[in-house]
């Protein structure tokens, strides 16, 4: 591997909470040092960053890659290219494929495919119950041995609390991380939007924000019983925050994430039944969006993810109630998250804690930081570069983004994985 020195770059360091103009040295795929001025090693390539920002590569939790089963929506190759173009150097993939990733054989297949096709790190999760049906837990120990870093049934909430309790207890004994979707499944079944005046005026089936509160309350009670290590995948309502805060204050091993779409959009974006804005859980009221941003600022919510969910045109070009939920987000993640920086809501170090450092720490990954000895997974970006998003230029096979045609600010200039450039032309 080559040795190169970044000079004249603003280093975004989420561990130190700082942005400083300096230099960073990469040798043999790892970060060998950074500071105000570093000597140029013999034979090193010098990259002048032109005063742009250099930060740890994004670690994106909950990415859906549609292999096996729906490769026409997204493959490991297309998802990897989209990730690289978006400054995402590690994707933590979901098991909600066809078939479900619920056994070591399927897990080994997707791991092999990812290594062959994707230019970024791919870290797989496995299902918590067989076929995500909520009836029988998977072989968590064998799946861990095969490389699963966490266990989740994604948006299929396990309704049988005895099954869930057994799975959590077993996960606790193995030190395994479990991801849960905080939602009361009966109350939220069939909902397309969040309840309120807007939903009533549009005549769309809706769910109360209280469904999320009910879901988080139940899961916290089970965590008090079992002591399992747990991550709430998406907290999107103000009503859920007090319960989350109590769980953390009571010493439970709990973290929480949220979606970039819930941080930058609200229920009014649905407007004229635009199905690209149909996500799960549905977009919330502006008061909820503001509350979640505030929770991120104060560290109550730990992680921001794209929840990249490819859907083909046939799944989206339907009446709003019938259209599939989800949006692609790998390639739009960085400019979308920079909206919170440009609005003054969060600093760059705060953002990079949530999109790189915290997810890496929670999943036991060495990336997400600029410290000496860390992998040289890096993104060089211009935080101020304006552009209008054209969904047809995205690398993903599916083009279902809510940001199509919107004015964005922030472009990835180059992405490096283990010190190797995987995007950009420097």
Which pLDDT tens digit goes with each residue over 247-265? 999 999 999 999 999 999 9
Inform me whether the pLDDT recorded for 66 exceeds 90.
Answer: yes
Cβ contacts of residue 219 below 8 Å, gap of 6+?
180, 182, 230, 232
Cβ contacts of residue 209 below 8 Å, gap of 6+?
194, 195, 237, 238, 239, 240, 284, 285, 288
Query: What single DSSP character describes residue 384?
Result: E
Inform me whether the pLDDT recorded for 36 exceeds 90.
Answer: no
pLDDT at 18: 96
**Percent of the chain scoring above 90 in pLDDT:** 93
β-pairing, 407-417 vs 58-63, is unpaired
Residue 325: count other Cβ atoms within 10 Å of its Cβ.
17
pLDDT at 425: 79
pLDDT at 210: 96
* Mean pLDDT, rounded, for 79-83: 98
3-class SS of residue 240 = helix
Inform me whether the pLDDT recorded for 183 exceeds 70.
Answer: yes
pLDDT at 310: 97
Inform me whether the pLDDT recorded for 177 exceeds 70.
Answer: yes
**Percent of the chain scoring above 70 in pLDDT:** 100
Structural tokens at position 349 = 């170090």
- Read off the pLDDT band of 295 (50, 70, 90): very high
Does this model's pTM top 0.75? My answer is yes
Q: What is the mean pLDDT of the chain?
A: 96
Q: Which phi and psi (to 5°) does residue 300 adopt?
A: -70, -40
- Count how many Cα atoms sit within 13 Å of the Cα of residue 188 in the half-sphere of its side chain: 21
Least Cα distance to 415 among 359, 360, 356, 341 occurs for: 356
- Read off the pLDDT band of 1 (50, 70, 90): low
Residue in the block written with tokens 């002048």: 48
Specify the higher pLDDT residue, 284 or 38.
284
Query: Exposure string (b/e) for 276-292, b if CB count within 10 Å is 16 or more?
Result: bbbbbbbbbbeebbebb
| Interatomic CA distance for residues 103 and 316, integer angstroms | 31
* Cα–Cα separations (whole angstroms), residue 201 to 63, 159, 320, 334: 33, 32, 14, 34
pLDDT at 41: 80
3-class SS of residue 362 = helix
* Mean pLDDT, rounded, for 207-225: 97
pLDDT at 202: 86
| Interatomic CA distance for residues 19 and 425, integer angstroms | 24
Structural tokens at position 257 = 């994430």
């Amino acid at each position: 591997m080559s040795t190169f020195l970044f000079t004249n770059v603003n280093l975004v360091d989420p561990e130190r909470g700082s942005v400083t103009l300096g230099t960073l040295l990469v040798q043999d795929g790892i970060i060998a040092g950074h500071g105000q001025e570093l000597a140029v090693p013999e034979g090193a390539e010098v990259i002048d960053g032109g005063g742009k920002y250099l930060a740890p590569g994004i670690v994106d939790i909950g990415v859906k890659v549609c292999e096996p089963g729906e490769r026409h929506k997204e493959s490991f190759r297309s998802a990897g290219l989209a990730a690289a173009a978006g400054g995402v150097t590690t994707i933590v993939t979901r098991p909600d494929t066809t078939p479900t990733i619920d056994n070591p054989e399927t897990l080994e297949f997707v791991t092999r495919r990812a290594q062959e096709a994707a230019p970024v790190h791919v870290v797989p999760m496995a299902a918590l119950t067989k076929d995500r049906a909520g009836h029988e837990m998977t072989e968590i120990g064998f799946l861990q041995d095969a490389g699963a870093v966490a266990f989740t049934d994604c948006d299929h909430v396990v309704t049988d609390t005895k099954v869930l309790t057994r799975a959590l207890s077993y996960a606790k004994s193995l030190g395994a991380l479990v991801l849960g979707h905080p939602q009361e499944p009966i109350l939220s079944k069939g909902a397309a939007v969040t309840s309120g005046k807007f939903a009533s005026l549009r005549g769309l089936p809706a769910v109360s924000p209280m469904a999320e509160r009910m879901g988080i309350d139940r899961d916290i009670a089970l965590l008090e019983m079992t002591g399992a290590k747990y991550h709430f995948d998406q907290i999107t309502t103000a009503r859920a925050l007090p319960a989350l805060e109590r769980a953390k204050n009571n010493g439970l091993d709990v973290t929480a994430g949220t979606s970039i779409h819930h941080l930058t959009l609200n229920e009014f974006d649905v407007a004229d039944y635009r199905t690209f804005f149909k996500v799960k859980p549905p977009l919330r009221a502006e008061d909820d969006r503001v509350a979640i941003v505030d929770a991120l600022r104060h560290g109550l919510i730990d992680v921001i993810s794209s929840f990249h969910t490819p859907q083909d045109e046939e799944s989206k070009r339907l009446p709003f109630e019938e259209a599939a939920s989800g949006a692609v987000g790998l390639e739009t993640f960085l400019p979308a998250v920079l909206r919170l920086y440009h609005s003054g809501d969060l600093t760059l170090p705060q953002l990079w804690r949530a999109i790189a450092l915290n997810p890496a720490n929670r999943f036991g990954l060495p990336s997400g930081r600029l410290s000496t000895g860390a992998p040289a997974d890096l993104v060089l970006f211009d935080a101020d570069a304006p552009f209008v998003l054209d969904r047809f230029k995205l690398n993903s096979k599916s083009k279902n983004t809510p940001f199509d045609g919107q004015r964005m600010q922030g472009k990835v200039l180059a992405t490096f994985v283990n010190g190797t450039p995987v995007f950009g032309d420097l």
